[in-house]
Structure 1
Amino acid sequence: MTTWTPASMPDLTSTSAVVTGASSGIGLPTALELARHGAHVVVAARDPGRGAEAVRRILSEVPGGQVELGLLDLADLASVRRFAAGVTRLDLLVNNAGVGLIPRRETKDGFEMQFGTNHLGHFALTGLLLPLLLARPGARVVTVTSDAHAAGRLDFDDLGLERGYGRMSAYARSKLANLLFALELQRRADRAGVDVKSVATHPGTTATNIVKVGPLQPLVRLLLKPAAAGAVPSLYAATSPDVRGGEYFGPRAKRLSPSQAARSEELAARLWEVSAELTGVRFEEFAEGRARGSTQP
Structure 2
Amino acid sequence: MTHKQHPIGSGFTAASTAEEVAAGIDLTGKNVIITGGHAGLGREATRVLVNAGASVTVGSRNPQRAQEALADVEGVEVSRLDLMDPASIDAFAERRLDTHRPLHILINCAGLPAPAQRELDARGYEAQFATNHLGHFQLTLRLLPALRATRGARVVNVTSGAQRFSDIRWDDLHFADGYEPTAAYAQSKTANVLFAVELDRRWAKDGIRGYATHPGVVVGTSLNSSAGQEGLRAMGLIDEAGQPIIDPKAGKKTLQQGAATIVFAATSPLLADIGGVYLKDSDISRLDDEPKPLTADSIPSEVASHSIDPKSARRLWELSEQMLTA
Tell me how far 1:154 sits from its aligned partner: 1.8
Is the Cα–Cα contact under 8 Å of residues 158 and 215 in structure 2 kept in the other structure?
yes
TM, length-normalised to structure 1:
0.87
Residue 44 of structure 1 deviates from its aligned partner by 1.2
Map of 1:97-136 to 2, 5 A cutoff?
Answer: 97-103=110-116, 104-136=118-150
Indicate the residue corresponding to 1:176 in structure 2: 190
Flag the structure with more relative contact order, 1 or 2, with Cα contacts below 8 A and sequence separation at least 6: 2
Q: Give CA-to-partner distance per residue, 1:31-73, whole Å, 9 cap, x none.
A: 11111111110011112232111331322xxxxxx31101111
CA offsets per residue over residues 82-105 of structure 1, 9 Å max, x none?
A: 111111321110011111322211
Partner SS, residue 69 of structure 1:
strand
Partner of 1:250: 280
Tell me the alpha carbon deviations over residues 252-276 of structure 1, each in whole angstroms, 9 at most, x when there is no partner. x021133111121111111111100
Aligned pair 1:19/2:19, yes or no? Answer: no
Q: Offset at 1:198?
A: 0.8
| CA spacing shift, 1:158–1:7, aligned 2, 3 Å | closer
User: Which residue is 1:74 aligned to?
Assistant: 83
Alignment of structure 1 residues 208-219 onto 2, 5 Å: 208-211=221-224, 212-216=226-230, 217=232
Establish whether residue 186 from structure 1 lines up as the match of residue 216 from structure 2: no
Q: Write the deviation string for residues 141-198 of structure 1: whole angstroms up to 9, x where unpaired.
A: 01111111011122223222110111100000000000000011001114xx211111
Gaps (5+ residues) in structure 1?
Answer: 60-65, 282-297
Match of 1:294 in 2: none
Shift of 1:78: 0.9
Deviations 1:183-228 (A, max 9, x none): 11001114xx211111111001112111122244597361242222
Report % sequence identity.
Answer: 39
Matching of residues 84-163 of structure 1 within 5 Å? 84-87=93-96, 88=99, 89=101, 90-103=103-116, 104-163=118-177
Q: Which residue does the alignment assign to 2:216?
A: 204
SS at match of 1:100: coil
1:233 maps to 2:261? yes
SS in structure 2 at match of 1:101: coil
CA contact (8 A) 2:169 2:187 kept: no
The 5 A counterparts of 1:12-51 are 12-51=27-66
Q: Is the 8 A contact 1:141 1:238 kept in 2?
A: yes
Tell whether the 8 Å contact from 1:9 to 1:239 is kept in structure 2 after alignment: no
Q: Over residues 12-48 of structure 1, what are the superposed CA-to-partner deviations in whole Å (9 max), with x where a residue is unaligned?
A: 1110000011121100001111111111100111122
Tell me how far apart the structure 2 counterparts of residues 109 and 83 of structure 1 sit (CA, whole Å). Answer: 20
Asked if the contact 1:101–1:168 (Cα under 8 Å) also holds between the matched residues in 2, the reply is yes
Measure the CA separation in 2 of the matches of 1:262 and 1:235: 22
- Post-superposition CA distance 1:88-138 (Å, at most 9, x none): 321110011111322211123321000000000000000000111001111
Secondary structure in 1 matching 2:47:
helix
Partner of 2:248: none
The answer to whether the Cα contact below 8 Å between 1:9 and 1:240 also exists between their aligned partners in 2 is no
Q: How many residues align?
A: 272
Whole-Å separation in 1 of the counterparts to 2:169 and 2:22: 43
Q: Which amino acid aligns with 2:270?
A: D
Give the Å deviation of 1:7. 4.3
1:76/1:109 contact within 8 Å kept: no
Q: What amino acid does structure 1 have at the position aligned with 2:48?
A: E
Q: State the secondary structure of the residue aligned to 2:206.
A: coil
Q: Give me the whole-angstrom Cα distance separating, in 2, the residues matched to 1:40 and 1:154.
A: 35
